[in-house]
């Protein structure tokens, strides 16, 4: 079963992803964390999250780029939670002093490989498209790349859930998981 869970900042999407993942597999969830730490505060936040997840049988893999490289670590019975596509896109788009123009290609390739191998995959992504601010070309391309990824995932996932203010709305539903 494949899920795309989308929402704005602090909308509850990560918590929804964690809860659904645990209903799909109480014994083990592989939690792919994509945040790249930039300072001590980020490192402490990551450490705290890893410790908190251990009590729920989450196995955390820190994957900042190139999702396809973890395929060998996944079995056919695994439940995978990827949090978040937005962080992954940032890491794939801005490498050293270079700006990658189409990082969505590499990201979607890795996601599709994981979806073919794992039993369940839950993908958390942000919704950053509903303001009227005029952005520079780099930011516009970031938004475009995220939109490409989100649209493709919405098409191929069995379930698409939007989170807003802690509420869930199913936009596409093959199997509802109530939490």
Q: Which residues are catalytic?
A: 49
* 132 exposure class (CB count in 10 Å sphere: 0-12, 13-18, 19+): exposed
137 carries a ligand binding annotation: no
Rounded (to 5) percent helix, strand, coil in the chain: 45, 25, 30
29 CB-side CA count, 13 A: 28
Q: For residue 112, with 0-12 CB atoms within 10 Å meaning exposed, 13-18 middle and 19 or more buried, which class applies? A: middle
Establish whether 42 is an annotated binding residue.
Answer: no
Q: Is 11 annotated as a binding residue?
A: yes
Which residue from 114, 116, 115, 101 is spatially nearest to 148, judged by alpha carbons? 101
Instruction: Flag whether 19 is marked binding.
Output: no
The annotation status of 110 as a binding-site residue, yes or no, is no
17 annotated among ligand-binding-site residues:
no
13 labelled binding-site residue: yes
Residue 9 known to bind ligand: yes
159: helix, strand or coil: strand
Residue 7 marked ligand-binding: yes
Residue 162 CB partners (closer than 8 Å, separation 6+): 6, 7, 127, 168, 169, 171
Q: Please check if 84 is assigned to a binding site.
A: no
Name the pairing type of β-strands 167-172 and 159-164: antiparallel
Binding site listing for GTP: 7-14, 62, 83
């Amino acid at each position: 079963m494949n899920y795309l869970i989308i929402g704005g900042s602090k909308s509850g999407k990560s918590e929804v992803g964690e809860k659904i993942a645990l209903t799909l597999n109480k014994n083990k969830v592989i939690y792919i964390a994509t945040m790249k730490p930039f300072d001590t505060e980020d490192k402490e936040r990551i450490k705290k999250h890893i410790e908190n997840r251990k009590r729920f049988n989450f196995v955390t893999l820190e994957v900042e780029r190139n999702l396809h490289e973890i395929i060998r670590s996944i079995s056919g019975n695994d439940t995978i939670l990827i949090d978040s596509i937005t962080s992954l896109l940032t890491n794939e788009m801005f490498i050293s002093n270079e700006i990658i123009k189409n990082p969505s290609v590499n990201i979607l390739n890795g996601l599709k490989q994981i979806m073919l191998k794992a039993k369940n995959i839950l993908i958390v992504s942000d919704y950053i498209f509903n303001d009227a601010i005029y952005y520079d070309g780099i930011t516009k391309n970031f938004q475009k790349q995220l939109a490409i990824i989100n649209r493709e995932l919405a098409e191929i996932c069995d379930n698409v859930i939007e989170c807003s203010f802690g509420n869930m709305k199913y936009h596409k539903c093959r199997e509802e998981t109530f939490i």
